Chain A
Amino acid sequence: MPAIEELTDAYERYVLNNEDGFVDEFRRRIRDFGGRPTPLQRADRLSERYDTEVYLKREDLLHGGAHKLNNALGQVLLAKYMGKERIIAETGAGQHGTATAMAAAHLGMPCEVYMGERDINRQRPNVFRMKINGSEVTPVTTGRGTLKEAISETMRDWATNVEDTHYVIGSVVGPHPFPRMVRDFQAIIGEEAREQIRERTGALPDSVVACAGGGSNTMGAFHEFVGDESVDLLAVEAGGSSLAVDTDEGVAPNSASLSTGSEGVLHGARTKLLQDLDGQIVESHSVSSGLDYAGVGPELAYLVDEGRVTPVTVDDDAAVEGFHRLSQEEGIIPALETAHAFGYLHEHHDEVGDVTVINVSGRGDKDLDTAIEETAKRDVPNAPDMSMFEGGL
């Protein structure tokens, strides 16, 4: 808890009040090192296919290949301002771990990343990238070896080493001030998108669509639009193989906590959770390891309760189709997390209005092996013949 107070104080001073020019330095580095602003691209073929103006916010073009760098760079820099000497992080898809490893290397800080053993096996390219950038990757074997166990393990490390260590949490989750702070670092997505779409079309979009795991790219894309009542905000969750939750077995074949979860307390936040009737957290599932978390950001859960954000779900099959469709039709290979947003667009294009902005939260290079495996497992109508790749790249 003292760590939380220290962090809250630092967040207020540096991030909210720009003490010592923190925000200026962040903006400069996220531009020069990160590659901001990212483009807002009109997706011509999808627009034609769906008879709707589809704009893509290209966070996949951010350094590292996902929106995660906005937050990772912000927090590693903050750690530096706080005088911390060591960075730790957890990662699911490895995308946040990679972004943190890059930010730590960029700012000259030692970094250790906790990652579920199962996710290490699913996301080898990112494990490699973290190591190349000089980070240590520590496997977490407790539970099912995915993101929630990695978060618990990182919190344990932090509790032990708080005096010299900063925990770069990977999404808008965890105890205050993390959810707000991470949102602030990610809000640059929606800030740019709002300006860019007005420049292009002279108006606000009818909807903004983003996938939601913990909800950081979601909150980042939505935040600037929350006050614009005319803009629908759609959070696309991983419907997995089914929306049913088997509370006896303690497993959910999805990770749709906004859509199917109930209120509870996990990792220091009160939010919507996948849990059984006793309050034990159940195992979640998604083809995309970055969405595979039993909780979700508390502010996002709040905006859903308020009716401002609409949660929707897309199952594994539709996400894999979305992965192939965006690749074929727009020449953009999306992360499997991002592919959920395109699965939604495909199934519900008449519900997004005349102009929609879709957040391309990350690129799919990390997922190529998973895509081969998941495509082989099911009947994907729009997949190319991938048989020569069976067994991996």
Chain B
Amino acid sequence: MSDAIDAAFADGPAFVPYLAVGDPDYESSLRYVEALAAGGADVIELGLPFSEPIAEGPTIQNAVVRALEAGMTPTRFFEFVEELDVDVPLVCMTYYNLVYQYGDGEGPRPFVERAAEAGISGFVVPDLPAEEAGPLREACDEFGLDLVSIVAPTTGADRLEKLVDVSSGYLYVQARLGVTGASSSVSDRTGETLARLDGVDLPKAVGFGISSGEQAATVVEAGADGVIVGSALVDIVAEGHENGDSAEAVAERLETLARELKRGALDGYGRRTPAPEGTSD
């Protein structure tokens, strides 16, 4: 398991931004990820684009298409990670077929080995069910990486147990049903889902729909150990790309929103009275 991810959740709420790597091109994308780190990211989720991103809403789907059209591949992705100049743990978010095909096309081990060498600390693979996660879990154990699982509001008790069994690092808690995408309100079900996870000894990072500091504060106040923000950041990249803005200008906007989100998470933490049971401070 990755100590880096443990450490990121150890003191105070973690801010976990997501970007699709290579969106809209390799060079800009490097600066954007570095801007998130500068804005206070504690862990960064790096999306390795897959042609069939079934867990993503339109915002991230379009980002994935831009990145693929600009030539992003698993090989380039690992080069990207090596070239990045950031000092936070990096989680690779992608789909199982890319993990499975890498190297010999015989299983996840070559992918995990290469990821570990590049400096990745863990994975989120939304289309891999717990039942099929054994080989990836094993490879992660071998190379000291985490496997983050996604918990939906509808995940039942039996299923949760299976998920927790194969998970490490943190749990990615879906704030609502559905696919990724920014929304204007955070669902009431977040609190319920968090309450059901009370006994689980892993940090809980809440994502899906968070786009503002105030929303980040709300979910942390509700007991989340971290907030995951993707589409709201990807929107900034998309808009900058459409308007022909400089990578510099876009990076600055990303850093500003990152600061707001991080501050929101801290504010939410401060508002917790009393600290909910089962969360570590």
Query: Which of A3, A267, A268: most chain B CB closer than 10 A?
Result: A268
Cross-interface CB contact of A279 among B102, B177, B178, cutoff 8 Å = B102
User: Are B100 and A265 in contact, with the CB atoms below 8 A?
Assistant: yes
User: Are B54 and A265 in contact, with the CB atoms below 8 A?
Assistant: no
Interface string of A143-186 (1 = CB under 8 A from B): 10000100010011001111100000000000100000000000
User: Are B129 and A279 in contact, with the CB atoms below 8 A?
Assistant: no
B28 at the A interface (CB under 8 A): no
B10 at the A interface (CB under 8 A): no
User: Are A155 and B154 in contact, with the CB atoms below 8 A?
Assistant: no
B80 at the A interface (CB under 8 A): no
Chain A, 1-25, CB within 8 A of any chain B CB = 1-5
Q: Which residues of the other chain, A, contact B127 by a CB distance below 8 angstroms?
A: 265, 268
Q: B158: shortest Cβ distance to chain A, in Å?
A: 8
Cross-interface CB contact of B97 among A155, A175, A250, A265, cutoff 8 Å = A265
Given A2-B152, A159-B179, A163-B177, verify A278-B101 contact (CB < 8 Å): yes
A277 to B, closest residue via Cβ: B101
Given A159-B55, A266-B52, verify A1-B102 contact (CB < 8 Å): no
The majority secondary structure among interface residues of chain B is loop
Q: Which residues of the other chain, B, contact A5 by a CB distance below 8 angstroms?
A: 156, 159
User: Are B178 and A159 in contact, with the CB atoms below 8 A?
Assistant: yes
A161 to B, closest residue via Cβ: B177
User: Are A279 and B97 in contact, with the CB atoms below 8 A?
Assistant: yes
Cross-interface CB contact of B179 among A160, A264, A265, cutoff 8 Å = A160
Q: Which residues of the other chain, A, contact B144 by a CB distance below 8 angstroms?
A: none
A281 to B, closest residue via Cβ: B51
A2 to B, closest residue via Cβ: B154
User: Are A156 and B179 in contact, with the CB atoms below 8 A?
Assistant: yes
Cross-interface CB contact of B102 among A143, A160, A250, A278, cutoff 8 Å = A278
Please measure, in the bound complex, the distance between the C-alpha atom of A264 and the C-alpha atom of B97, giving whole angstroms: 6
User: Are B101 and A279 in contact, with the CB atoms below 8 A?
Assistant: yes
B98 at the A interface (CB under 8 A): yes
Q: A202: shortest Cβ distance to chain B, in Å?
A: 46
Given A278-B74, A281-B52, verify A1-B155 contact (CB < 8 Å): yes
Q: How large is the interface on A (under 10, 10 to 19, 20 to 34, 35 or more residues)?
A: 20 to 34
Please measure, in the bound complex, the distance between the C-alpha atom of A278 and the C-alpha atom of B65, giving whole angstroms: 16
User: Are B101 and A1 in contact, with the CB atoms below 8 A?
Assistant: no
B105 at the A interface (CB under 8 A): yes
Interface string of A338-364 (1 = CB under 8 A from B): 000000000000000000000000000
Cross-interface CB contact of A275 among B54, B73, B97, B129, cutoff 8 Å = B97
B237 at the A interface (CB under 8 A): no
Cross-interface CB contact of B96 among A3, A265, A280, cutoff 8 Å = A265
Q: Which residues of the other chain, A, contact B61 by a CB distance below 8 angstroms?
A: 142
Interface string of B42-71 (1 = CB under 8 A from A): 000000001111111100010001001000
A370 at the B interface (CB under 8 A): no
Q: Which residues of the other chain, B, contact A52 by a CB distance below 8 angstroms?
A: none
Interface string of A265-305 (1 = CB under 8 A from B): 11110000101011111100000000000000000000000
19 sample A-B contacts, Cβ–Cβ < 8 Å, listed by A number: A1-B130, A4-B129, A152-B54, A156-B54, A156-B56, A156-B178, A159-B55, A159-B177, A161-B177, A263-B105, A264-B97, A264-B100, A265-B96, A266-B97, A275-B101, A278-B74, A279-B74, A279-B98, A281-B51
Given A1-B155, A266-B97, A280-B73, 14 more A-B residue pairs with CB atoms under 8 Å apart are A1-B129, A2-B152, A5-B159, A152-B54, A156-B56, A265-B100, A266-B52, A268-B127, A268-B129, A277-B101, A278-B102, A279-B101, A279-B105, A280-B50
